């Protein structure tokens, strides 16, 4: 096994780690393209989808959030296209392996932001209104995807995770939401 793919795989990998976990502060490692089809990586992708699906308000999840320091994130199908959000024909969750932001708009906007690893805090961030990401899918095929609004915000938030950056590092007015008991 290549050294860079070694990490402890002995906990429940669908559990979302919280902000003080050092894995969230690591720069995640690229996935070797030859490994994408391996049962190990496919298992991680399945765990990520399962973990994301377990969070009602979850729009996306990065691998470090389940303790895996690899450059992968997944976006929930319902967050991919605003038009289909309410539809039953919701697209499947989309996997991004070794994602790179290739375009960011100069246009920026202040947005409300939260994170599944910083429960239940929200703050205001400044994000580009449009972003384009190039990545590999779960079959190892390269693709490019542009997004605006929520999807552009997701792209920026998730690629930050892969560099050990959390939204609270740059957000303002961070507050704990009132949780309904
Ligand atoms: Zn997050």
Taking only the tens place, the pLDDT of each residue in 3-37 is 444 455 445 567 899 999 999 999 999 999 999 99
- Rounded to two decimals, the pTM is 0.89
Query: What is residue 135's three-state secondary structure?
Result: strand
**Which residues, in sequence order, are CB contacts of 141 under 8 Å at separation 6+?**
none
**Which residues, in sequence order, are CB contacts of 74 under 8 Å at separation 6+?**
45, 48, 49, 52, 60, 61, 93, 94, 95, 96
How far apart are the CA of 166 and the centre of ligand 1, in A?
A: 7
Q: If we measure between CA atoms, which residue out of 102, 55, 93, 91 comes closest to residue 74?
A: 93
pLDDT beyond 60 at 81: yes
In angstroms, rounded to a whole number, what is the distance separating the alpha carbons of residues 9 and 43? Answer: 11
- Active site residues per annotation: 158
How far apart are the CA of 167 and the centre of ligand 1, in A?
A: 7
How far apart are the CA of 35 and the centre of ligand 1, in A?
A: 25
- In DSSP terms, 154 is beta-bridged to none
């Amino acid at each position: 096994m290549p050294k860079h793919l070694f990490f402890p795989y002995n906990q429940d990998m669908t559990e979302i780690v919280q902000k003080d976990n050092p894995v969230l502060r690591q720069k995640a490692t690229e996935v070797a393209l030859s490994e994408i089809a391996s049962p190990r990586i496919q298992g991680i992708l399945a765990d990520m989808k399962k973990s994301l699906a377990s969070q009602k308000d979850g729009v996306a999840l990065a691998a470090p959030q389940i303790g895996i320091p690899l450059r992968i994130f997944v976006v929930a199908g319902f967050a991919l296209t605003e038009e289909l959000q309410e539809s039953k024909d919701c697209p499947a969750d989309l996997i991004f392996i070794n994602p790179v932001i290739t375009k960011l708009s100069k246009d920026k906007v202040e947005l409300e932001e939260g994170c599944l690893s910083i429960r239940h805090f929200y703050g205001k961030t400044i994000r580009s209104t449009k972003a384009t990401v190039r990545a590999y899918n779960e079959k190892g095929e390269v693709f490019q995807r542009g997004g605006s609004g929520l999807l552009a915000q997701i792209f920026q938030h998730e690629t930050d995770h892969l560099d050990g950056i959390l939204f609270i590092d740059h957000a303002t007015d961070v507050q704990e939401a009132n949780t309904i008991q």
